[in-house]
Every structure is written in C-alpha cells, then in structure tokens.
A and B are shown apart, each in its own frame.
Chain A
Amino acid sequence: MTQLTRDSTTSSTDASAGALARRSPAPRAESGVLRLWRSSWRALAFLAVAAVAWWLVTARGWVQPYILPSPGETFGNLVEYTPYFLQHTWITTYETVLGFLIAVVLGELVAILMVRSKNLELTIYPIILVAQVIPKIAIAPLFVVWLGFGMGPKITVAVLMAFFPIVISGLAGLRSVDPEILDLAKTMGASKIKTFAKIQFPASLPQLLSGMKVAATLAVTGAVVGEFVGGNEGLGYVILRANGNMDTATLFAALLIMSAIGIVLFAIIQLAENLLIPWHASRRSDGSSAVVAQA
C-alpha cells in the first residue's frame, strides 16, 4: 500500500502554495484544524441558521410541540435518557457497520468475478438487478421469519441495501483501467494476480470509494428498516415506540443520532479517500496551480 500514500510534504506544499496564490496573507503551513474549518464553515453556518429557525418556530408557539418539539426538549431528552439512547445507538451502529463491511467484501468479490468472466457477468447481473429492485422493506419480514428477531435480519437488510452501489462502482472502477496499461502489463509478463493487485485494484479505488459513500448511508437505512420490522432494540425500535406514544421529542432525538451515524461513516470514507487516493484528480488539493509552484 505504500505506493498509494503520496509524499506528505509534497501535498502540504501543494495546499499552502495554492492558498498563497489566492490569499496572500494566509500562513504558509496551515494546520489541519484550520483547513477543516475553511472547508466546513459554510455547512456549519447553515446548520446554525436552521437550528435558530427551529428554535424560533417552536419558541413562538407557531407549531404545536407534538408536531415539532423544541430543540431544547429534543436535546434535553437526549441528555436525560443518555444510557437508553446509547444502548440502542450501539445496536444500530453495530448492525450498520457490520452490514456495510459485509457488503463491501461481497460486492467487491462479485465485481471481480464479473470482470473476470463475461459468462458470470451475464448470469449474475440480472439476479443482482432483481435483488435491487425488490423493495427491501417488503422483504424484511421474510428475513425475520428466516432469521428470527435477533440482529440477523437487520444486518441482512443493511447488506442488501449497501451491496448494489458497491458492485456497480467496483465494476465501473475495475473497468476504468486504461487498456494500454493492461497491454503494458502483458509485455511485462505480469501474472493476473499481480496485474490486479498493482494496476486494476488501485485504479478502481476512486470509483469504489465513491460507491462506498453511497453504500454507507444506505446501510444505516437498511439497519433501521430491519429494526422497524421485528425485534425490540435499535434506533428503529426506539422510533416505532416513540411514535406509538406520540413522543416526538424522543423520535427527533433518534433521528438526529441516525443522521450522525451516517455522517460519521461518510466522513471516515472521505478520510480514507484522502489517504488512499491523494493522486486522483478529485482529491488534488488546489489543482494544477500547485504544480507550477512546486517545480
């Protein structure tokens, strides 16, 4: 994997060189915190505005609390019942992450099989497509029948949800290799395994990783859908029960946690992108201007 990590000094020079070009008073070496702030302040500002609007709408009594609880009530609920939320959050996170990981491994394996053999591709593709178009919420009860009320059916639904984007992006990535580079590998007498490990797989990473971002958010949905259908733990169960009690504050709290799980997973993959594919056009910090400054 060492060939994937770009010389860190180079990339930091890139970033600061680009920053210098645009804003002269910027410090030469920017800290990670500052960079994070620069890239995310807009989103944070929007969130702040939304939170204020939420508070205003509820504080003024324009909306009934049973329809929209106030931010105070929601967060108060979170604080008051922290152990309860933690327990169920842990369950949902576990199901999501496990489902996601299984989907990544299975999906990439299937993608590899499909690029290896045209026959396999023509056999598997329709099956995967059918599996994808069946609404997961509709087959989830079946998994409960088959796998019981434990985590099995939840993880299965999460895997099913996340699987499709992984296969599709994995396949597209493996196909994206420049044919001339594959020719080159042949002139080197490279084995299939070496060609895969050193050329096809690294070349497929940009696409695979963007598929993984989609898959991660879908895995959360999958786990929660599974929890809706059967069982008595996880955030999906919390939401169902809160709904039954017209307890919108708990419901909103659970929603917030679920979004947080998705966002954290997404951020982890984003981080992996920065580490694994700094060379890719989508990740080059400041485009071509940096090259001039560096040379």
Chain B
Amino acid sequence: MSTGTLSPGTHETTTSTPAVSVRDASVTFSSRRNTVTALSNANLEVTQGEFISIVGPSGCGKSTLLKVVSGLSSYSSGEVEINGSPIDGPRPDIGYVFQRPALLEWRNVRQNIMLQAEMRGLDMQAANARCDELIEMVGLQDFEKSLPHELSGGMQQRVAVCRALLHDPAILLMDEPLGALDALTREKMNVELNRIWRATGTTVLFVTHSVAEAVYLANRVVIMSPRPGRIVEIQEVDLPAEREYGATMADPEFNRVANRVRDLLGARGTQE
C-alpha cells in the first residue's frame, strides 16, 4: 500500500499555537419542554498534530463538542479557538466524519468521495489519484460504482472516512467513524488511521465507544460524562506515536490507561 500523496508532516507547524483551544465552553439546547446542557464548562487544549480520543456514555456531549469545534454549532458561553483565531461560522479547513455516513444517495462510492474535491475546487487529477488510494485502503475497490443503498452500514462509514481524508485536512473530526465495522476491518482501519495520522501530522479529534480503540490511537483520551455533559478527566497515553496492534495492547501503559478509562466510565455507570 503506497503512501502516495501523503507527504510526511504536511501540517507540522512551527508555532506553538494550539490547534484547538476550548475554554469553559458550554452548549445548551432549549426547547419548549426542557433545557439540556449538552456541554458544560468544557476545557480542552489540543496541540498541533495531536490525536485526541473522546469517550463517554451516550448523550454526554461528544458529538456536540465536535460540532462546536467545527463551527457548525454555536456555543452559549466560553471561548473556542482554532489555530489561535476564534470560531466564526463553519471552518472549511477541516475534515468531518459525521456520526451517520451522510452520503448522497444518487452518487456512487467514488462520486461521494470526490464531492469533497468538487466542492473545494481541487485539482481533479490529483484528487482522483488520492481517491484510488483511499478506496483501496478501506477495501472498497469492488464497490467503486455502487450506490450507498447497495452498501452495508460499515461500508458506508468507510466511504465517509475516505471523503473526510481526501483533501488532507489540517484538523480531522471523526464521530464514531468505525462504529458499524466488524472487528477485523476495524482493527485494520485503526492501523491505517495511525499510519495516516503519523504520515500527515493531522490533528485528530476522534469519538469512539471502544476503550481499546481510544487508547490505541490517541496521545490523550478525553473521558466525558452526561447530564450535564462535561469532561471528567483527560488521560495522557505515554506511548510512541507508532503503534503496533499486538505489542501496543500488551504494553503496561496501554493497560494502565485503558483500565483507568474503564474505571471512570464504569463508576459513572453505577452511580446513575
């Protein structure tokens, strides 16, 4: 598998400005019936090129956090900055994998991925080459011409991942991108994600429900808890950037963090 257009360190910046800086950010949704605090006083500073995993029970505000960082959702209070500048509206320099695949029904796999290039007005030849690589990487070569309704849920998610990676974004926001995959494909995708991340130097915010996946991929794991949605702890993962599927998981550091995360999630579970 060639790395092709993936040039190492594309997004390494010389400055020490944080890639993402969330300070005391809160998001509340009000309806006629009730008010939900989806995010309460969240604080998170992500350095350039860092891989952050976000875990937490359903409804704890993980998707909300990503939406705020992307500029798609507004926040009620606090400050959110990307590369040192406050967010005003949707950011075009990101790659976003939504919790649902969000594919266009009338476009086949390749056309769905290439939407990214068409909308951004990228060089089509380079984008097509990159698209080939990505399709091969996620193992959809035989389905290039298939429409979304002809794909399984996991295949649709893989298309969405390719689409978010096509333009080599500075910041990658991924909301449970591998949720519907079988265990084996998921492992393979984890290895690929780690490789892509190392090769591109992209800053990643990655939401997942799998503790092992979270720790395997991340520099730091953010643990959240619901009602109100908040960040309870941020765990450093002191492992080299290059992860090996077997070896990393056997590492005492991996197990330390994984157990800590499980404790936090489990403890929250029994309290409620």
Residues of A within 8 A of B (CB): 3-4, 6-7, 10, 178, 180-181, 183-190, 194-195, 198-199, 202-203, 277, 279-281, 284, 291, 294-295
A202's closest neighbor in chain B, by CB? B106
Known: A3-B111, A184-B98, A187-B96. A198 touches B106 (CB 8 A): no
Evaluate contact between A181 and B72: CB separation under 8 angstroms.
no
Evaluate contact between A284 and B72: CB separation under 8 angstroms.
no
Q: How far is the CB of B238 from chain A (nearest CB, A)?
A: 32
CA distance A178 to B100 in the complex (A): 11
Evaluate contact between B115 and A284: CB separation under 8 angstroms.
no
A185's closest neighbor in chain B, by CB? B119
A284's closest neighbor in chain B, by CB? B149
List the A side residues contacting B207 at CB < 8 Å: none
Digit string of B85-97 for contact with A (CB within 8 Å is 1, else 0)? 0000011101110
Given contacts A190-B119, A291-B150, 18 further A-B contacts (CB under 8 A): A3-B106, A180-B102, A183-B72, A184-B98, A187-B70, A187-B72, A187-B96, A188-B120, A190-B120, A195-B119, A198-B104, A203-B105, A279-B106, A279-B147, A279-B149, A281-B149, A291-B149, A294-B150
A6's closest neighbor in chain B, by CB? B147
Evaluate contact between B104 and A199: CB separation under 8 angstroms.
yes
Known: A186-B72, A188-B119, A190-B119. A202 touches B104 (CB 8 A): yes
List the B side residues contacting A280 at CB < 8 Å: 105-106
List the B side residues contacting A180 at CB < 8 Å: 98, 100, 102
CA distance A188 to B93 in the complex (A): 8
Residues of B within 8 A of A (CB): 70, 72, 90-92, 94-96, 98, 100, 102, 104-108, 111, 115-116, 118-120, 145-147, 149-150
Evaluate contact between A184 and B102: CB separation under 8 angstroms.
yes
List the A side residues contacting B146 at CB < 8 Å: 10
Which of A178, A184, A202 has the most C-beta atoms of chain B within 10 angstroms of its own C-beta?
A: A184
List the B side residues contacting A4 at CB < 8 Å: 106
List the A side residues contacting B100 at CB < 8 Å: 180
Q: How far is the CB of A281 from chain B (nearest CB, A)?
A: 7
Known: A180-B100, A279-B105. A187 touches B150 (CB 8 A): no
List the B side residues contacting A198 at CB < 8 Å: 104, 115, 118-119
Which of A178, A189, A203, A281 has the most C-beta atoms of chain B within 10 angstroms of its own C-beta?
A: A189
